Structure 1
Amino acid sequence: METENNITPGQISEEGMSCMASVKGLKENWQKWSDGHQEYQKHNPFSHDAKPATVVLQKGQEGYGRPWEGSLTEQRGKDAHVHISREVEELCEVIRNIGETRDKDGNGAHEKVTTVEFGKLFEHYVTISNKVVGILLRARKQGLVNFEGEMLWQGQDDHAVITLLQ
């Protein structure tokens, strides 16, 4: 039986060469991944491989509470932000479509706003998304809508007026 060291180049078939090449490629890919993971673990404060000199960001420092730039976590956060922004825009459009236009202060001024009761909005929007209250809270945080109270509850706050500000 011949070992790998005793085989001459003329004795290896094309099939054998491609198999050796693919195994070599797999080994190189695995090593590349392994090296990258070891480097990542050196900076992971929760890993037993973390260097004692690893800089751990403190609250208030730039980058604290943020994922590494270029990481999959950062990309998922960006994707979620885009998705939520679309839902907020869609909610505002629904309010424009089903709401009533009124004078802003009720004194006959020329400024108009669109308002809708929460119960009516809930019934229309719940077919689009079951996260209507969360989206309303996000829209209020962005200054797009306004309503009384911290939270709106179905049934209890059906007559609460939601005002579209923009």
Structure 2
Amino acid sequence: MGTNSRSDTMETEEDVPTPAQRSDDAAACGVSVKGLKENWQKWSNEHREYQEHNPFSHDGRPGAAPPRRGRDDYGTPPQGSMTERRGKDAHTHIGREVEELCQAIRNVGQPGDKDGGGRVVTVEFGKLFEHYVTISNKLVGVLLRARKQGLVDFEGEMLWQGKDDHAVITLLQ
């Protein structure tokens, strides 16, 4: 084990690049100050234009009108935007999950007759939870969505594993 001497860590004049060498290194990397400035200016202009149309920007520009209730486009993303696309994809995905839930209820549940005539399928929440847990970990959320769509019915606002294992879920369609 030796000690580092001061001369080992200090730079010599030959190690320090000259200004000409520095500019050659930057050119070799394809980076120039002019190119960086132009890219920054382009981004800045695009961002400024975006903020002018952003109703949630707090810079006080008059061009950014806040959304108004009652208008047809209130609460909807701009048409053709990525937000609109993601929303449609999410809607399709949850629709498939609701269909899978209804199929799981048909597979696990007991067929029966409806009070007003017709056929229904019923299943206890605990039994459905045991079966459905292998498919998805969001059973309660999908159940709430299916109830909102009028596909299933159950008592209570929320179902809890353990506490509501004997709650009856009825598939209406």
Fold-level similarity (TM above 0.5): yes
Give the total of aligned pairs.
Answer: 141
Classify the secondary structure of the residue corresponding to 2:75: coil
- The answer on 1:150 being equivalent to 2:157 is yes
The correspondence for 1:97, drawn from 94, 97, 107, is 107
TM-score (norm 1): 0.74
Counterpart-to-counterpart distance in 1, 2:162 and 2:154: 16
Which residues of structure 1 form unaligned runs of 5+? 1-18
Classify the secondary structure of the residue corresponding to 1:129: coil
Counterpart-to-counterpart distance in 1, 2:55 and 2:120: 51
Residue 47 of structure 1 deviates from its aligned partner by 2.5
Residue 38 of structure 1 deviates from its aligned partner by 3.0
Equivalent in the alignment of 1:76: 86
Counterpart-to-counterpart distance in 2, 1:158 and 1:100: 16
Deviations 1:62-114 (A, max 9, x none): 22222111111111111111111100000000001111000112x8x4x1111
Alignment of 1:55-70 (within 5 A): 55-70=65-80
Equivalent in the alignment of 1:10: none
Equivalent in the alignment of 1:9: none
Counterpart-to-counterpart distance in 1, 2:49 and 2:63: 14
- The answer on 1:119 being equivalent to 2:126 is yes
Residue 50 of structure 1 deviates from its aligned partner by 5.7
Which residues of structure 2 form unaligned runs of 5+? 1-29
Report if the CA contact (8 A) 2:52-2:63 is conserved: no
| Max Rg structure | 2
Residue 48 of structure 1 deviates from its aligned partner by 4.8
Report if the CA contact (8 A) 1:43-1:50 is conserved: no
